[in-house]
Structure 1
Amino acid sequence: MGTLSLSDYKDVRIWSPWGHIAGRWYGNRSERPILAIHGWLDNLGTFDRLIPLLPDYLGVLCIDLPGHGCSARLPPGMHYSTAEFFLIITRVMKEYKWPKVSLMGHSLGGVLCYIYTALAPHTVDLVISLDILLTPFESPELLDYLAYCLDQCLVEAERIEEALMREPPSYTLAQLRSALSEGSNNSVPPELAQHLLSRSVARSQMYPEKYYVSRDGRTKCHNVLLINSSLAAEMARRIKKNPYLVIKGTESSYINSNDDELLNILRNQNPHFEYHEVPGTHHVHLVSPELCAQHIVPFLRHHRPPQVSSWSLAGEEQKLGTRKHHLAQENFYTKRLSTL
C-alpha cells in the first residue's frame, strides 16, 4: 500500500436545488471515501498538501461548500448559514447512498463535523477535526460578528448586482496571494496561497494578466448557529462512541480554554477520542501536513483498516480438494499394488 496521488482524481458535481456542489474524489472510487470539508472562505484546495500523505486504500472526496470554490451560489436574496452547510453532509450521503460517513473538516468544516456527529452519531464512523472543535460561543467576538453582518449582507448583495453589469476589481496574483495571507491573519503564507486561489479567482476579461475574486461575497457574513455552553456540552456527550481525532496548531487560538469542558467530556467518555498538538498555524494541515499525517494515518488505519473482502479461500479450498483427490488416488493404487 502507498499514498494518494494529487493527480489521480475525478471531478464530481452533486445535485442541489440551487445548482450543484463541486468536488474532487481522490484515489479509490470503489468504496466509500473520507468526506473532507474545508474552512470558512476557503475551498477544497486547502487539502492539497495533506492528500498525498494519506493511505491510498481509502479515497478522499473533497467538496466546495455552497458559494465557495467551484460550487454553485445560492440565489439572490438568500443567505448562507451554518445550518445549510451541515445539511450538505446529508446531501452528499444521499447522492452516493452511503449508510455511514467518515468526516474530515478544517475550521468551519470541523464545526460542521461536530454538529452533524452530535445529531446523527449512528451514521458517523470517524471524525478528523483540524484545529477546531466548535465555534466560540457566548463571547463578545460573536456579537461583533453579528453586528458586522447587519450591514455587510446588504453590501455584498449590492456587489452581486453590480457584478452582473460590470466586472469586479481585478488584481495580480502576487497581490491576491498577499491579500489572502493577510486575510487569514498570516495563517496561510503567501507561497502556499495558490492552493486556495486556484478555485476562488477568475481571470479578468478586461485585463488578462489580472484576476478577480469569484467566491460569493455573501459567504463572508453567513448566519452562524448560536450554541450556548450547556448545549455544546450535551452535544459532546452524544459523541461517546465515534472515533474522534482533534489536531490543534500550537500557534492557533481556535481551540482554547473555552473548549476545556467539551474536551474533558470527550476524553472521559469516549474511548476512541484522540487529541494532539503540533507546531503550526490555524491552517496547520496546509502548512505542516507531514506533522498532521503522523497522527491521521494511524488513526485511519486503526478505525478504517484496509478491506479484506477481496481475499478468498476459494483458491486454497480448490487446491486442498485437488490434493485430497490425489491422496485418495495414491491410496487406491497403493492398495491395488499390495494385493498383487
Structure 2
Amino acid sequence: MQPFSFQTGTQTLRGLTFGHGEEAVVALHGWLDNAHSYIPMLENAKLNHTWYCIDFPGHGLSDWRSNDAHYYFIDYIDDVYKFIESLEVSKVHLVGHSMGAMVAGVFASCFPEKVASVNFLEGIGGVTTNSNDVSSQLRKAILNRARVSTKGPRAFESKAHIISARLASGDLEYPQAELLMSRNSYEKAGKWYLTTDPKLKNHSGFRFDEAQCIATIKQIEAPCQLILGEQGFPFVKQNLEAYGKYYKELKIHQIPGGHHCHMQNPALTLEHIHAFIEHYKAS
C-alpha cells in the first residue's frame, strides 16, 4: 500500500495504490467514504494488477473544491478522466462502490475506448429526477446551499465520537467505521473535525432523468459485473430491476454482507472482481 497524489489544476487528489501489474484498476469509493474503503479487500491480498484507489474531491485527504464551487455528480467524471489520462495506459478496469459505481458507469458510457471492464459494488444506474421536477430540485438545492454556507465546521469531543456518528448513519461495524474515519477526520487543539467538505451534503442541483440515465447505460460497451450485498440497500435492487436490462453485458453476484459488502466480505468480493478482470484483460 503506497500513497499517491495527483494534481488537477489547482486541486490535489490523493489516494492509495496496491499491487504491481501491467493492468490498471481504478477504484472509486462511495459518497462520504474514501480510499480506505478498499483496504480490507486489498491490503493483504495477492494482486496481479495495479490498483489506484482515489479520494474524490472533498473526501478523505483530497482537496475540497473552491469556496464558490459545488459538488456536481458530472464533475466526478471529469476528475476520473484526468486521472486516467495521467496513467498513460490504453484501458483501465473500473471498480466502483455506491456513488463510485454510478460514476464508473457514466465514465464507461462517455469514454468506452478507455474501459476494459466495470465492476459495480452495491450501486448501478443512477439517482434520477423526473423531468417535471427539475425546477423544484434546483430550488431545494439553492435553499440548502444557503443554509450550509452559514454553518461552521462541527467539532467533536473525540475521534470515538466521530466514529459513533458514522456508525449511526450506516450498516458498518466498528472496525470498518474506524478505518474509514481515520482518513476522514483530524485533530486540532483538542477537538476532532471531519476532512469531508460540508458542501457534500448539499442537495443536488441537477440530476439525469430516467430517459437520460437509460441512454447513458445503452452506450456502455465494456462488460459489467454487479456485486450485491444480501442485506444491501433496497435502492440498489430497485435500480437493478429498473435499469439492468439496458446493459449489453451484466453479470450479477449476491454475497453475504450489507451496502459495504466489499468491506464486510472482502475476500469473496475480490475473488469475483479478479475473475472478471482476468476474463476481460485490457492487453
Three-state SS of the structure 2 residue aligned to 1:25 is strand
Point out the structure with the larger strand share: 2
- Distance in 2 between residues matched to 1:194 and 1:151, nearest whole Å: 33
The partner residue of 2:174 within 190, 202, 210 is 190
Are 2:251 and 1:265 equivalent residues in the alignment? no
Matched to 2:98, the amino acid is: S
Alignment of 1:118-137 (within 5 A): 118-137=109-128
Which aligned segments of 4 or more residues in structure 1 are displaced greater than 4 angstroms? 142-148
- Tell me the distance in 1 between the aligned counterparts of 2:180 and 2:140: 25
Choose which of 139, 143, 148 in structure 2 pairs with 1:156: 148
The RMSD of aligned alpha carbons is 2.5
Alignment of 1:158-173 (within 5 A): 158-159=150-151, 162=152, 168-173=154-159
Taking structure 1 as reference, are residues 258 and 43 closer, same or farther at Cα in structure 2, changes over 3 Å only? Answer: closer
Cα distance, 1:62 vs structure 2: 0.4
The 10-residue stretch of structure 1 (171-180 or 75-84) with the greater mean CA deviation from structure 2: 171-180
Q: Does 1:226 align with 2:207?
A: yes
Matched, 1:39 2:30: yes
Greater Rg by CA: 1
CA distance in 2, matches of 1:192, 1:43: 12
One-letter amino acid of the counterpart of residue 184, structure 2: S
**TM-score normalised to the size of structure 1?**
0.75
Following superposition, the deviation at residue 242 of structure 1 comes to 1.1
Q: 2-side partners of 1:278 and 1:246: how far apart?
A: 11
Query: CA 1:18/1:44 → structure 2, altered by over 3 Å: closer, same or farther?
Result: same
Percentage identity across paired residues of the two chains: 22
Partner of 1:321: none
Q: Which moved more, 1:215-224 or 1:17-26?
A: 215-224
What is the letter of the counterpart of residue 2 of structure 2? Answer: K
Q: Given that residues 118 and 235 in structure 1 are in contact (C-alpha distance below 8 angstroms), is that contact kept between their aligned partners in structure 2?
A: yes
Q: 1:231 to 1:152 in 2, by over 3 A?
A: closer
Tell me if structure 1 keeps the 8 A contact 2:214–2:243: yes
The DSSP-based 3-state class of the residue aligned with 1:255 is helix
Structure 2 unaligned blocks of 5 or more: none
CA distance in 2, matches of 1:254, 1:71: 28
Q: Could you tell me which residue of structure 2 aligns to residue 249 of structure 1? A: 229
Question: What is the rounded CA distance, in whole Å, between the counterparts of 2:100 and 2:173 in structure 1?
Answer: 21
> Deviation at 1:225?
4.8
Q: How many pairs align?
A: 280
Deviation at 1:53, TM superposition (A): 6.2
Q: Residue 199 of structure 1 aligns to which amino acid in structure 2? A: R
TM-score, normalised to structure 2, is: 0.89
Write out per-residue CA displacement over residues 299-329 of structure 1, whole angstroms, 9 at most, x where no aligned residue.
Answer: 1222239x8xxxxxxxxxxxxxxxxxxxxxx
Does the Cα contact within 8 Å between 1:53 and 1:293 map onto a contact in 2? no
